[in-house]
Amino acid sequence: MSSAINDKKTTSTKLNELEQIKKFTTVVADTADFESIREFKPQDATTNPSLVYAATQKANYSHFLKEVLVERRNSGLGGAAQIEDIIDHLLVRFGCAMLEIVPGRVSTETDARFSFDVQDSIRKAQRLVKLYEEQGIGRERVLIKIASTWEGIMAAEQLQTEGIKCNMTLLFSLPQAVRAAEAKVQLISPFVGRIYDWFKAAKKREYSGAEDPGVQSVQEIYTYYKHFDYETEVMGASFRNTGQILELAGCDLLTISPELMKQLFESYEPVERKLTPERARSADVKRLELDEKKFRYLLNEDAMATEKTAEGIRKFTADIAKLEKFIASKIN
């Protein structure tokens, strides 16, 4: 059967949209809600400090924090070091619990305040992986999330040589994606929804389907990777609606919130695979040559990518600060 026929082929309408997407894309749960993970059965899961903070506010997850507080009570640490230690253990505790449900991997985020610090990013990643290993979780089941700054990608490049797999987050442009692939990181997470948000506000118009700038960004990155045979995985993230997800059916991975997974689960419309390696390999793509100066210049020239990367780092920093304040209130 030719690739052209494969491109047009749809899966059976007896399956819901979520089940159809799983036929050619790995679905990842973007949540710290275990019940949602059990219900929709994704392959992988991802979390961050804001999701963990939200989960600890719920009665059925508050015991994780209580257990960590008891376990780390005699750590010998105090002040900021004690709070950092508790948060590291809490993130890993949630990650381990998720790995009891999903058969694949879990992504755990480093501190966004280290986004421009190579050595501290490496230190934090090594610390988190060590805590996972102490719980019997191998490195192959853990992805460390790091912001897609020049320094973040440099840290990830070093970590990958140590067998620590990285997930580059806050990624909004082809130069970020190309540099990550050249660094041989395991996975990137281009943020579809945030790109859509920026263009919607800037252009004062709605976007849908294939014209969505967030969708187009991931399509461009996926095509570039497959055309040049990069092994780095592409995981579309930060979706605003199911239309964006359906336009990226066939992407290596898609990380989806419980709300959108529920919508896909309840719909039985046929799903067409939109992205294929065969189509990407035959595309007309020019190789992008990058060094640090070219990377920084191209990122600066892209107002959306520059603003969204900076905004994302600020928001992730605020999330970790909120979690720190919450932890401090529990130990004082």
Question: DSSP secondary structure string, 93-155?
Answer: HHHHHHHTT-SS-EEEE--GGGTT-HHHHHHHHHHHHHHHHHTT--GGGEEEEEE-SHHHHHH
Answer whether 295's CB lies under 8 Å from 151's CB. no
Question: Which pLDDT belongs to residue 13?
Answer: 55
Give the global pTM: 0.93
Catalytic residue numbers read 145
Kind of pairing between the strands at 44-46 and 106-109: parallel
Question: What is the helix (H) or strand (E) element at residue 234, kind and residue range?
Answer: strand 233-236
**Per residue of the chain (332 residues), what is the pLDDT tens digit?**
444 444 444 545 599 999 999 999 999 999 888 999 999 999 999 888 888 888 888 888 889 999 999 999 999 999 999 999 999 999 999 999 999 999 999 999 999 999 999 999 999 999 999 999 999 999 999 999 999 999 999 999 999 999 999 999 999 999 999 999 999 999 999 999 999 999 999 999 999 999 999 999 999 999 999 999 999 999 999 999 999 999 999 999 999 999 999 999 999 999 999 999 999 999 999 999 999 999 999 999 999 999 999 999 999 999 999 999 999 999 87
Minimal CA–CA distance to 126: which of 144, 112, 147, 107? Answer: 144
Question: Which pLDDT belongs to residue 12?
Answer: 52
Answer whether 97's CB lies under 8 Å from 132's CB. no
Question: Which pLDDT belongs to residue 248?
Answer: 98
Minimal CA–CA distance to 307: which of 185, 201, 232, 231? Answer: 201
Question: ∠ CA(223), CA(188), CA(193), 5° rounding?
Answer: 85
* Residue given tokens 């059967």 in the structure block: 1
Domains assigned to the chain:
3-324 (3.20.20.70)
SS3 category, 237: strand
Question: What is the helix (H) or strand (E) element at residue 29, kind and residue range?
Answer: strand 26-30
Question: ∠ CA(255), CA(258), CA(260), 5° rounding?
Answer: 75
How far apart are the C-alpha atoms of 170 and 185, rounded to whole Å? 14
Neighbour tally for 179: CB within 10 Å = 30
Question: Which pLDDT belongs to residue 318?
Answer: 94
